Structure 1
Amino acid sequence: MTGRGDSHDTGLDRAAWRWLWAGVLLLCAVLLAGKLAPQSPWRGAIDTRITAMLPAQERSPLAARAESLEDTANRLVMLVGARDASATSLKQRDAAAQALRQALTPLATLDDGKSLASLRLPAEVQPALIAPRLAELSDEQWQARALRQLFQPGGQRDLIHDPFGLAGAWQDWLTPANLSLSGGQLLLRAPTSSGEQPGNGYRLISATLTGSAYAMGDQQALEQAVDGVKADYPDVRLLRSGLVFHASAGAQQARQEMSTIGLGSLIGVLLLLWAVFRTPRRLPLLLVPVATGVLFALPLTWWAFGSLHVLTLAFGASLIGISIDYVLHLECMRRLATTDGRGGLAALWPGLTLGLCSSLAAYLAITLTPMPGLRQMGMFAALGLLGAWLSVRLWLPRLSLPADATREDSPAARAAGWLARVLPGRRSWQALSLLLVAALASLYGLRSDDRLTQLNPSPASLIDEQREVQRLLAEPDGLRYLIVQAEDDAALLSRLQALEGTFQQLNAQQQLGHWASLAQQLPTLEQQQANLGAIRERTRTLLPQVLSTAGLPAALVKRAEQAIESAHPLRPADWVTLPAGEMGQRLWLDSRTAAIGIVRFGDVTAEGSAALARLAAGDDRLEYVDQVARLSTTLGSIRSEMAWLVSAAVVVISLLLALRYRRSTWRALLPPLGGLVLTLAALTLAGVGLNLFHLLGLLLVLGIGLDAGIFCAEHPARSAEKDRIGDTASRASQASLLAISLSCASSLLAFGLLSFSQTPALAALGLACLLGLTATWCLVPFARS
């Protein structure tokens, strides 16, 4: 790269490359329009699922089928409660529940109204199912019950198929004790231990969205409906449960952070550039790399993955502080190291190209992880930086306004001169050596943290609401379950019934909250056969006396005996196909070779989970699945892979830099490697466990720190007698130092602001970058000296 100024960009070949790049950006704009246009057949979706960040899980075929039964993304449950038990508050509660039902009608299918009425069973299976509370009744009590069915208002009067009112008792047994029908709506009474006032309760609203829980339009419509009811009835208490609410909260949070973090970064960078360059006409040109980088990355990433995750957009907002680095080096070189505002840039491009390659290596390394969300974020960032670099390389020297050489008293020259004088002495080197040794020694106490909370962007209030709803309804969360296999239906129900004792023991020890099993819905087949025999006997011996007392003809006994002869036990496969067995569909796996049931658990302590795992380990027909532990293990495995990836990247890059800089390689490696070590030491001393997203931040620190280190090696500090503004090499060194400082500052504004994110993953990434980039910046003077 020789010759005057930018002559290598003035030929026809360079002009062709500039026009080709413009054509590529025009095509990207067309692709982006196709994704955003409402009526476009290629319209894309913004993905709000946190599970989209995760890789495909390794699981057994039975576990995969069991988890497919939990695909209830569009299901939602809301509880509307009163502030107290006064008549006014209860009236407000009922009115709010009715208003919420009306608001949900265009958006969802309300299905809680069928919850009680659908529990009645066909006549041919009802005699086999006797509620436990009827099992101990005497013959006189059975007769009295039959008479009450005849004469009590609203009682059961089917003397042929159900003379003893088994259907009503069975319905009452299946219905939770705290759930009742009041005023045409379901009323859920809270346990007295929860602090609710006597007589108070919640109106239960259960529905299924007609749209998609992941579609932003449907999320916004649902939120508007709920917020409208809240505004009209501010004194009621509303509890929500459902994936759609968490997805909506995550999307809203990502949009908010995109605007606040992205806008904050942009404003900070503009103020920084204004303070140094004091040229408002040039500020719009400095944003050209930002705009072209986003325009290049956004549609290509969107088309490559089919959908765009909201975390990718939030992460992409931080590109403002990175993509502007290249134009900072260009502008500082033009201001401080040239004489005509355009020439003398040939010495800039080798370092700028190496900086791009190091950053691309860091970002592209992210695409090697098995997490789809991270691959998308890495691709977005890599394409954005490449687009920004191409704009700087091809356009900026032409688009830049002519300028005279910067005066020695200008803010940029004063800043460069002040920074150039900040060179460490011998004591500073001694202190740095001790600090690095202490930091390396502290890494012995480094620990990991692979908890799933780092992937949950939902606010704590919404999580508490969901837990309260699950507690009141005694609903398992579906994250932990036990797969039970048996030879046939009879053996399965017997095994499930035998396991109830173990679960009750864990519950008594407060290691298991609640659980759901077919054993809670169906007696064993042996018990059902015994029930049939008992009901046949009572029909033959007790029904004639009931009819005689009621003054009804004895001929009805014969018809009742004929009806009960066709009755038969109810098997699990038939139970789950009935409307009353809908709740059992997620507890049964259809199989031709075996009978398979699923026991789903709610709150489980670590001791309870270990006990369930030991139970399954001792029986090859049992399989215990803890999705929380499995996902944590997956995150830990990916974290280990990332750690090796960072280590391998350090080794490879060190070898490549050694080929160019030889004995000066340490200058390029000190800022990034020192930044990594000091960041890990700070996290260790603060007691923060290292997670996957900390390592992702360290990869970014490595890329950005290498950019700074490369320019330290390209333009080291000059000796005192040569360090004057008139010396060309000294000008280039000072221009490089000023650009490095501005780059670190803008990167801190971009990634450091992520540490204030409410999304735990982004906050962890931002914290690592905040610590790492600060350390990198402080090490730059040592690398130059």
Structure 2
Amino acid sequence: MKLTRFALLLLFLWIALLAGLTWFVQQQLQIGTDLRLFLPSPTTPEQQLLLEEIGEGPASRVMVIALEGATPEQLADSSRSLVERLQESPYFRLVTNGEVSLDSVPDDLLSYRYLLSPTLDERALDAKYLHAELQARAQDLASPAGAFLEPWLSRDPTLELLKVMQRWQPMQEPNRLFDVWFDAKGEQALLLAQTRAAAFDPDQQRVAVDALNAEAERLAREDGVKMTFSGAGKFSVMMEERTRGEAQQLGTAATIGMIVLLLIAYRRIGSVVLSALPLASAGLAGLAAVSALFGTVHGITLAFGFTLIGVAQDYPIHLLSHRHATRTPVEVARDIWPTLATGVASTCIAYLTFLFSGVVGLAQLACFTVAGLAVAGLTTRYALPVLMAPTGRDFGDSVWLDRLWRRMERLPRPVWAGAVAIVAALAAIVLAPQPMWESDLSKLTPVPKELLIQDQALRSELGTPDVRYLLVIDAADAEYALQRLEQLDESLQALVAEDAIAGYDHAGRYLPTAEKQRQRQARLPEPATLRADVAAAVRDTPFRPDVFEPLLEDVERARHLRILTIEQLRDSPLGVSVDMLLTQHGDRTTALVTFSGVRNVAALQRFAAAAGADVTLLDTKNASETLVTHQRVKILWSLAVAAVLLAAVVTFSLRRASRVYRVLAPMALTTLLIIGILQAAGVSMTLFHLIALILAAGLGLDYALFFEHAADDPMEQRRTLHALLVCSASTLMVFALLATSTLPVLRAIGLTVSLGVVSNFVLALLLTRPSAATHVT
């Protein structure tokens, strides 16, 4: 490294600029975790709903909890204590174990019980009905339930509130022991906890998971009870932690390996430090660009971005390896710049097309990569040479590199080998038993299979909504949506009776229409009439008429109540389910009907088809696969445009068709070979394989350009060979480490690029360099 005043000043300014970018990024950058950013923008209301349900729907927020390891009575007590503690937590919107608690109803909703209960649809609140109910209450008071009912008897002798509460319970009730939910065998007490945070918000989900873990430790310590829990939120936290943990481990290993490799290759610490400057500049420039343009950046974008920015490490390596005594570093940079600039421009163009893919996550990735690679290339060209010492080892004088180059030149280059490789790759693609593309997003999850099975088993026991099928009602407002739900309810009950579904849930089960409430309100008796009916009803019962003054007050209040609205119920802790099942989107309202235990999909489809044009049965699995397919088509079109632009850039740079062919052929053949190898290995391709293929293609282009640039100058050939050996070794090391990851996404990228590095290096050498025999002739 130079120690002149100008070089030291430039180094100081460079480091100061990096520090400034670091401060800017720390102030501006927010890391997001919503995986929906890697799905295309929805084009239909159904697709919009799908994306909302994936991250924020009722099923995605639910944690299922199981308690075991004690007697059923002890487990029931532990279940009640857990509900009490979690209900006080700010991280949960709803916690229930199936136990009906009248005390949980807010006072301002108590008088609405007559408008919410279906009792007045079938009978009048008269002396005959009251007399029958009071006789039943007299028997109840003599039973174990007496202590539970006695505080409410004077206010609600007909148990309307209890009927409302029971109506709000799941239609497919789990097994009950000691008045709380249990599994079918009676060995596990079961609970549901609904988080406030969306499923793909690991930061907020983590505090909820920590709260549950703390309760698990408490139960084990105090009651000897084992607690397990499961849900999308827990899996989201697990994925984020595993991704971060593996990224740190693999990143540390790659960094150490890179330092060791550079020290072996260049034998100077100064070279390692200098080569790190363009790489650091690339990373910070990419972060600053996405911070300024997007604000919130997905964590996957950063992980991918830093992986792709690793390509920038090749730029200073080329400069260091091409250095020699007869040319200053500035002159060397000028000599290799046309070739290097072509590689930088081509890679940037390939990723620039992602800006128009319609996928926010990929647009962020494009911004990060293009900004980073451009900065790395420009700093390598104009800043790094000024800092380099004028003298250094000339790899053109290396005897072993000369020997290796000559051996590689003598390698056979039969034309038929390329044809055989192409035919074999095409055969693998055409004959592969598995589909070429993977559209099932669930197969990309790093969550262990046994945990997914456990989660499904607990949800089945509890009868939670089936996350696959949803009935969607598009309405002008909430009242019309409730009317449509009321109209469909009888048909839904018929589906349950036919065993097509085990149960269903919708907002109409929690809140009747305004018209229905007014009808019930109109059937409430006048004060004098009700007082006379109560006096007549208490005859032949152990009750006195004056005991029921609170009942008279509540009924009179209910006669003058304003109709209960969705907004009022949403403000209540009992309205959580309504909030999830009835949502507002601009000037439209969407009502959902969720199902549990779907057994006859055809019957469900027939019901939806007959329900009307405003009713749609959404199959979330098929909808997600359709969304992924549309995404893939967009990306493939983007890549086709990128290929044309890339070829144009190379043609403009090289000017001759023969040179263009020699440079592009290795990249094209490698891409085909990678796809063929993956298909032969039984691997269906995903979005992440496509990203990796572009990276591999960029590497191949770089290798081919520099092999072709070496021409017939022996000294330049050895310098080029040294540079490409170091580049390919460093890249292969990084991505081979990624290929060992347990995370499907990282493994897909690592394996794809590792195959690409080997294939591109070999093919670039064979196809861009004529054989020794050709030289002789």
Normalising to structure 1: TM-score of the pair? 0.78
Measured against aligned partners, the alpha-carbon deviations of 1:111-147 in whole angstroms (never above 9, x if no partner) come to 6699833358644642872579x99x99996563143
Aligned to 1:291: 280
Distance 1:545 1:671, change over 3 A: same
Residue type matched to 2:250 in 1? I
Task: Confirm or deny: 8 A CA contact 1:756 1:763 kept in the other structure.
Answer: yes
Task: Confirm or deny: 8 A CA contact 1:77 1:205 kept in the other structure.
Answer: yes
In structure 1, the gaps of 5 or more residues are: 1-5, 37-41, 719-728
Q: Give the Cα–Cα distance (whole angstroms) in 1 for the partners of residues 724 and 253 of structure 2.
A: 21
1:48 aligns with 2:33: yes
Q: Give the Cα–Cα distance (whole angstroms) in 2 for the partners of residues 418 and 743 of structure 1.
A: 17
Report the secondary structure of 1:687's partner residue: coil
Pairwise CA distance, 1:670: 1.9
Aligned to 2:490: 498
1:354 aligns with 2:342: yes
1:630 aligns with 2:623: yes
Q: Give the Cα–Cα distance (whole angstroms) in 1 for the partners of residues 587 and 378 of structure 2.
A: 62
Pairwise CA distance, 1:249: 2.8
- 1:69-80 superposed matches below 5 A: 70=56, 77=63, 79=65
Out of 735, 742, 758, the position equivalent to 2:719 is 735
Q: Give the Cα–Cα distance (whole angstroms) in 1 for the partners of residues 268 and 751 of structure 2.
A: 33
1:422 aligns with 2:408: yes
Aligned to 1:765: 749
Report the secondary structure of 1:422's partner residue: helix
Q: Give the Cα–Cα distance (whole angstroms) in 2 for the partners of residues 70 and 572 of structure 1.
A: 29
Task: Confirm or deny: 8 A CA contact 2:30 2:296 kept in the other structure.
Answer: yes
The percentage of aligned residue pairs carrying the same residue is 23
Distance 1:442 1:90, change over 3 A: same
**C-alpha RMSD over aligned residues:** 5.0
- 1:116-515 superposed matches below 5 A: 116=101, 117-119=103-105, 122-123=110-111, 125-126=113-114, 129-130=117-118, 142=133, 144-148=135-139, 152-156=146-150, 162-176=156-170, 177-178=173-174, 188-192=180-184, 195-197=185-187, 200-202=188-190, 208=196, 214=201, 216=203, 221-222=207-208, 224-228=210-214, 230=216, 233=220, 236-240=225-229, 244-319=233-308, 321-334=310-323, 346-403=334-391, 405-406=393-394, 413-415=399-401, 417-423=403-409, 428-445=414-431, 447-453=436-442, 456=445, 460=449, 463=452, 467=456, 470-476=459-465, 480-484=469-473, 492-501=484-493, 503-504=495-496, 508-509=499-500, 512=501, 514-515=503-504
Measured against aligned partners, the alpha-carbon deviations of 1:343-375 in whole angstroms (never above 9, x if no partner) come to 655432221111111221222223332111111
Residue type matched to 1:273 in 2? L
Distance 1:143 1:319, change over 3 A: closer
Aligned to 1:686: 681
Report the secondary structure of 2:297's partner residue: strand
Task: Confirm or deny: 8 A CA contact 2:396 2:716 kept in the other structure.
Answer: no
Out of 680, 705, 708, the position equivalent to 1:713 is 708
Residue type matched to 1:299 in 2? A
Aligned to 1:722: none
Pairwise CA distance, 1:457: 5.5
Residue type matched to 2:626 in 1? T
Task: Confirm or deny: 8 A CA contact 1:149 1:157 kept in the other structure.
Answer: no
Aligned to 2:19: 29
Normalising to structure 2: TM-score of the pair? 0.78
Report the secondary structure of 1:347's partner residue: helix
Aligned to 1:639: 632
Pairwise CA distance, 1:306: 0.4
Pairwise CA distance, 1:655: 3.7
Residue type matched to 1:754 in 2? L
Q: Give the Cα–Cα distance (whole angstroms) in 2 for the partners of residues 284 and 596 of structure 1.
A: 58
Task: Confirm or deny: 8 A CA contact 2:130 2:158 kept in the other structure.
Answer: no
Q: Give the Cα–Cα distance (whole angstroms) in 2 for the partners of residues 758 and 208 of structure 1.
A: 30
Q: Give the Cα–Cα distance (whole angstroms) in 2 for the partners of residues 692 and 427 of structure 1.
A: 34
Q: Give the Cα–Cα distance (whole angstroms) in 1 for the partners of residues 141 and 159 of structure 2.
A: 10
Pairwise CA distance, 1:668: 0.3
Report the secondary structure of 1:155's partner residue: helix
1:577 aligns with 2:568: yes
Task: Confirm or deny: 8 A CA contact 1:265 1:320 kept in the other structure.
Answer: no
Measured against aligned partners, the alpha-carbon deviations of 1:518-577 in whole angstroms (never above 9, x if no partner) come to 4545689789969997999x9899966752223556799999899868867999964773
